[in-house]
Chains A and B, each alone.
Chain A
Amino acid sequence: MTIAQYLLLSSVLFCIGIYGVLARKNGVMVLMSIELILNAVNINLVAFSALTDNIAGEVFALFVIAIAAAEVGVGLAIVLLIFRNKKSVDLSEIDQMKG
């Protein structure tokens, strides 16, 4: 196995996640795409950890997993609050800050 195949797989996932963040309008769908991006980063961390035989990459992958869990918790709370106030989670309607 080469390192490049893992890096290419993770960049495919990353770019699909980027497309999802930009092309989706529903708040929950954008959060799912962010999960794709974070998982792409984790594949990179673990692959480099195996390449350099250094455990730090795996430890940081665990930290990323913990932070992703916190992020999705707070993100969903924000989406729920938006839903309660506007009766929709359509991100293109949230434009009160637009000048």
Chain B
Amino acid sequence: MVAQNVFFAILALLMIVSALKVVTTNNIVHAALWLVLVLAGVAGQFLLLGAEFVGVTQILVYIGAVIVLLLFGVMLTKASIGDEENINMPNRVLPAVIGTLMFAVMSYSIIDSYRGKELPKETVTNAAMVSDSIFSDYIIPFEAVSVLLLAALIGAVVIARKEVA
């Protein structure tokens, strides 16, 4: 249990520092690379919680596909490789206040209702259990998600292609 807490603390610190870097750095490419660290930390937390399949999917889909897509977006919108001016709103105090207030409210209610509630030990769920659940109880949502992905694919192509007369 102690080792798990140590790993949790290391990963959590890494994730929070990287997430702050994502929203404060002035270099768009660096922000995407810091986001990789946050997403890898999330995958590590999933593995720590015994969710093997979700952790691996997180690495495959997020770090493998979403980050590449975001970097393509950075390149195609001709962002400069160095620091960029004019990517922040002029007033950043109000967003910071809103974020801090939301965190205060959420952390108060979380500590109030879940203080000291321990997670059960050794609850590893493997891919077979996840797939059994998806293909029995959640088959209709699964099919809906596959149709949604197809629709998003076609939609993205239709939106982004150049008009040909």
Contact = CB atoms under 8 A, between A and B. Distances in A.
B99 A19 contact: yes
A15 to B, nearest CB: 4
B165 interface: no
Contacts of A81: 159-160
A15 B70 contact: no
A89 to B, nearest CB: 5
Nearest to B7: A1
Nearest to A11: B106
Interface of B is mostly: helix
Interface in B105-119: 106-107, 110-111, 114-119
B147 to A, nearest CB: 11
B54 A20 contact: no
B1 to A, nearest CB: 7
Interface of A is mostly: helix
B81 interface: no
Interface string A26-54: 11110111011001001100110111010
Contacts of A7: 110, 114
B95 A73 contact: no
Chain B interface size band reads 35 or more
19 contacts: A11-B102, A11-B106, A15-B103, A16-B23, A17-B23, A18-B102, A23-B88, A25-B87, A26-B28, A28-B73, A31-B70, A35-B66, A42-B46, A53-B120, A70-B152, A73-B156, A76-B69, A80-B76, A81-B160
Interface of B: 1, 4-5, 8, 12, 15-16, 19-20, 22-23, 28, 31-32, 35, 38-39, 42, 45-46, 48-51, 53-54, 57-58, 61-62, 65-66, 69-70, 72-74, 76-79, 84, 86-89, 92, 94-96, 98-100, 102-103, 106-107, 110-111, 114-120, 123, 125, 129-130, 133-134, 137-138, 141-142, 145, 148-149, 151-153, 155-157, 159-160, 162
